[in-house]
Amino acid sequence: MEYKIKSRIWIEVDGEILLGEGRVSLLKAIEKTGSLSKASKSLGMSYKKAWSLIDAVNSRAKSPVCNTTIGGTKGGGTQITAYGKSLIEAYERINKNCWEFLDKQISEADLK
Amino acid sequence: MEYKIKSRIWIEVDGEILLGEGRVSLLKAIEKTGSLSKASKSLGMSYKKAWSLIDAVNSRAKSPVCNTTIGGTKGGGTQITAYGKSLIEAYERINKNCWEFLDKQISEADLK
DNA sequence: TACCGTTATACCTCAGTAAATATAACGACT
DNA sequence: AGTCGTTATATTTACTGAGGTATAACGGTA
């Protein structure tokens, strides 16, 4: 069996995690569903965990990543801001580049 | 505060972890001390955990990463093989390259 | 043969994290 | 006013992973 190289990347602010793989997939689920509770259900994650993740992201990002509304006909909801979308896009682009870079590195290392 | 990008890389074999940051630092401590028990103490890690990590590495690597002896005047010991040293070296080189690559990527992304 | 420091392994305990549950507030609509 | 689905939060429960302790085996040396 061949050696494979894997990686996880994340963005930190002031020594604390801003954005990692889990948070990005949560943000994308929110973008798709328009709701934090629906997003957490779709990922098999508890609402509480999802809420605390989003809270952490919002409190550390330089600009808000999402806007929430409470009450109303549909009960409320959560929308990802344009800034949030730009963060998601940057994370995924860098992540993909990192994988490609590492695949090249491991093949050049030629470990037997 | 500025956004910083972090990463962890690891090598997998057959879907299971062969080598990550913790295992590499353990192997280096063994190399320095010549003993698994001394290495675990120097890292503040329990012997049991250190042993299970080394056991996992040895069972998955294509060649043995260390040789152990039991008994004798000094009680025994563990030596890192030449193959093990080459794995450590490859991991650290790729890891360093990855950090440099990511630092470049995040500065190019220019996130506000 | 007794001693010593090491490898190797089983078992039990405990804490820190994750999950489940409960509850309040909100606001558009009927 | 009552309903509904959502956000927001506290409290309690469950569980996994890590650590501690104990013990056997090993083989040079005195």
Inside any domain, residue A12: no
Which residues lie across from A69 on neighbouring strands? A77
pLDDT at A3: 94
Residue B3: inside a domain, yes or no? Answer: no
pTM, rounded to two decimals: 0.91
Q: What is the pLDDT of residues A58-97, one digit of tens each?
A: 999 999 999 999 999 999 999 999 999 999 999 999 999 9
pLDDT digits (tens, 9 = 90+) for B82-93: 999 999 999 999
Asked if residue A3 belongs to a domain, the reply is no
Q: Is A57 helix (H, G, I), strand (E, B) or coil?
A: helix
A6 and B12 Cβ atoms separated by less than 8 Å: yes
Minimum CA–C1' distance nucleotide for A35: D6
Q: Report the residue from A2, A63, A98 with minimal CB separation from B101.
A: A98
In angstroms, rounded to a whole number, what is the distance separating the alpha carbons of residues A65 and B111? 13
Let me know if residue B5 belongs to a domain.
no
Q: Would residue A111 count as lying in a domain? A: no
**Is residue A43 within 8 Å of residue A26, measured between CB atoms?**
yes
Q: How confident is the model at residue A25 (pLDDT cuts 50, 70, 90)?
A: very high
Q: Report yes or no on B63 lying in a domain.
A: yes
pLDDT exceeds cutoff 80 at B110: yes
| Nucleotides, chain D, CB distance < 7 Å | 4-11, 18-22, 25-29
Asked if B111 lies within 8 A of A90 by C-beta distance, the reply is yes
Q: Chain A contacts of B87, Cβ < 8 Å?
A: 111
Residue B47, phi-psi category: left (phi > 0), alpha (psi -120 to 50), beta (remainder): alpha
pLDDT value of residue A96: 98
Which CATH number goes with the domain that contains B51?
A: 1.10.10.10
- Expressed in percent and rounded to 5, the helix, strand and coil fractions of chain B are 55, 20, 20
Q: How many domains does chain B have?
A: 1
Asked, for residue B90, whether it belongs to a domain, the answer is yes
Q: Would you say residue A23 lies in a domain?
A: yes
Predicted confidence at residue A72, as pLDDT, reads 94
Q: List the domain range (segments joined by +) for residue B101.
A: 11-109
